């Protein structure tokens, strides 16, 4: 299972509305690691009942917001494919002489 983390947030100082989340997703399997990074933009509406100001946020809530806008399946499929390639590479680099 991939692990989602929020690395940074950008917010409006006046109302505490979050406008951007920078995130990373990490997948580990059998000693191999794959990582994807990205950012997701938001348009906060302080008048909405669902508005949550910066000071009241949790990482889990922001991850929810990010996942609602990103193609989670595509990101996690990419990571799985990358791990598979690392486990059983189709290509290699190097030269045959010492």
Q: State the pTM of this model.
A: 0.88
CA distance linking residue 92 with residue 39, whole number of Å:
32
Sign of the CA dihedral with 44 first, then 46, 51, and 52 last: positive
Residue 98 pLDDT exceeds 90: no
Residue 69 pLDDT exceeds 90: yes
Report the relative pairing of strands 3-11 and 32-41 from DSSP bridges.
Answer: unpaired
Q: Write out pLDDT tens, residues 5-32.
A: 999 999 999 999 999 999 999 999 999 9
Neighbours of 61 (CB within 10 A): 13
List the domain boundaries for the chain.
3-87
Q: Write out pLDDT tens, residues 86-97.
A: 999 999 999 999
Helix (H) or strand (E) segment spanning residue 77: helix 72-87
Ramachandran quadrant class, 96 (left: phi over 0; alpha: psi -120 to 50; beta: rest): alpha
User: Among residues of the chain, what percentage have pLDDT more than 90?
Assistant: 97
């Amino acid at each position: 299972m991939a692990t989602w983390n929020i690395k940074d947030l950008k917010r409006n100082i006046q109302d505490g509305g979050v406008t951007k989340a920078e995130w990373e997703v990490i997948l580990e399997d059998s000693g191999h690691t794959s990582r994807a990074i990205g950012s997701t933009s938001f348009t906060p509406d302080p008048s909405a009942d669902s508005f949550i100001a910066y000071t009241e946020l949790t990482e889990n809530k922001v991850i929810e917001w990010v996942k609602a806008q990103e193609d989670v399946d595509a990101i996690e499929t990419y990571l799985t494919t990358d791990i598979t390639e690392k486990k059983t590479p189709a290509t290699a680099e190097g030269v045959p002489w010492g």
